[in-house]
Structure 1
């Protein structure tokens, strides 16, 4: 090999050695990053093994308590919590988070309880007979219903300080369900041949409740609307409990308002979203106190019906993902090792050839130097 060819070959080998060493360095850095990733995976895995979830006491299997994963529907449903408590969910402003069905019924009622209940398919009237039921006016059940209506109105009228000479039940009540009549949609009383509307004139919650109850009885008995007569009434004890549940929600909304989530599938129907919002404090819980007759604030830490437990399902998913991630990391690490081994073999061969060519060049230089000395 001539001098020029040897020098060209040496330059080529030098470039290849440099490229080889740079490639080896890049892979070494990649192995360092891979080791960091492995450490992070191990740390994340250990943290994930601490995964917990919120559960709610929903019943008993003999003497064993049964807990169910917390959800919006579970916490706000009717008789869904074993403790018998009724809950509402609010935001930090105190507004009640309700379903779109509840919201629509409340809007339709425009602040009227009986309309709200009717939109939900119920009436708080605890009678199951109407003026059009079989039997004459002297039918015992009809007489009892009329007496209940009189007593309900007497309680309301007394509470607001009004006297309509009804001690002997002399007033004749009525209700027009529909039509162009002046009193359509209003309860009425007739005294001495003169009919007047019975408007609400109270100022307290108790007076409002008395009026709404008397109105519901009057509409249920005297009303001619098919929809009104098809409502589920409080005469059935099973209905009565649910009506009380709806009434509590209505009255709580009256205090601070309500709101809904537009995409319910990603919010109140998503248990993970609901739990996260509770943990972050974005959503808060209140339960109805039968003693105080109002909703009382509680929390996931304070409420005896809620407990935090190990999330076995989440941990199993984490373990499966950890094994897959670690397998990928180990596969990549083995690939890097093989590439480094290949580069090392290549480097040794290049270095041997480099040393050989350099030796030839050195000898040629020495020979040329001796010739011209």
Structure 2
């Protein structure tokens, strides 16, 4: 093989080797992407394993009931759905602007969707309230003290996603409100109402600076306290008076509502498992094909390297012969 032919062949082999290396890099990148997609799918599947849903608990039925709906809550008779500010959640416009106990309505057209209801209850957007049995109504003082105590307990331990300094600030404002309120005895004057309202507004202003998902329940308790305080005219420090509330609704967790079953989302789990298996099979097939292609490239690259070395050696020999000829 002449020098010119050897040089051309060497350049061609060099180009071919670079092309093979580039293809190998692309295949490696594609395999990495496949593994990442499988990792993502695995994370989604793991989340599905832990996902729960609210179902209707049917007494005497060992099987899971249907998904919890807004109608199921109403059918219980003494339950209702409220937001963090105490507004009663309804799926459409009502004949009156307020409930019998003076609560405002909040229209949510999507609340009839079980998925929307489930998410709202889990994320602390909406809450359940239950009417107390007849004959067990609280006095105004008892209700106010209960609201105050619920505020304190929630600030002390239940709120998450806030810093220690933010919690300390909340506690300080709460203590100021609580101390002032608990020093009131007898008739509640306009001046006392003004001071309490000012302290509540200070607490609300601080709450509004915090993440909403951390303070929904706190806003709920604050609104309950405000609503009760608006109607109270007499307070006794021992939380006992002759003033009774006709209809007394109290907040209740979904765990305390016997008609609600909080269980694993079996349907969602099955679908997630099927999707994961399908993707896993696809990834394995594609990865196997890429592995075969990569091995073929590696085999070809070794052959190219061998020929490249041989041609390079021939070219060097031709160069040496040329130098010897010219130097003779």
Q: Which residue of 1 aligns with 2:181?
A: none
Confirm or deny that 1:21 pairs with 2:24: no
Matched, 1:321 2:168: no
* TM-score of the pair, normalised by structure 1: 0.53
Does the C-alpha gap of structure 1 residues 366 and 2 become closer, same or farther in structure 2, counting only changes over 3 Å? same
Q: CA separation in 1, counterparts of 2:276 and 2:64? A: 31
Deviation per CA, 1:319-357: give whole Å up to 9, x if none: 111111111211221221122122123212322321222
| Distance in 2 separating the partners of 1:73 and 1:268 | 10
Q: 1: distance between equivalents of 2:104 and 2:43? A: 45
Change (3 A) 1:306 1:67: same
Mapped to 1, the partners of 2:296 and 2:31 lie a distance apart of: 15
Task: Choose between structure 1 and 2: higher helix proportion.
Answer: 2
TM-score, scaled relative to structure 2: 0.60
Correspondence 1:276 to 2:123: no
Larger Rg: 1
Partner of 1:3: 3
Q: Does 1:251 align with 2:100?
A: yes
Q: 2:69 aligns with which of 60, 68, 71?
A: 71
CA RMSD of aligned residues (A): 2.3
CA distance in 2, matches of 1:34, 1:314: 24
Aligned partner of 1:55 in structure 2 is 55
Q: CA deviation at 1:287?
A: 1.4
Gaps of 5+ in 2: 138-246
Evaluate the alpha carbon distance shift between residue 92 and residue 372 of structure 1 in structure 2; reply closer, same or farther with a 3 A threshold: same
Runs of 5+ consecutive residues of structure 1 not aligned to the other structure: 112-249
Tell me the number of residue pairs that the alignment of Structure 1 and Structure 2 aligns.
216
Aligned mates of 1:25, 1:66 — CA distance in 2: 52
2:300 corresponds to = 346
Partner Cα distance (2:89, 2:51) in 1: 27
How many Å apart are 1:65 and its aligned residue?
A: 8.3
Q: Give the Cα–Cα distance (whole angstroms) in 1 for the partners of residues 57 and 23 of structure 2.
A: 61
- After superposition, the C-alpha distances for 1:2-47 in whole angstroms (9 at most, x for unaligned) are 3123212212211221121122122113223322333333343233
CA contact (8 A) 2:91 2:112 kept: no
- Alignment match, 2:78: 86
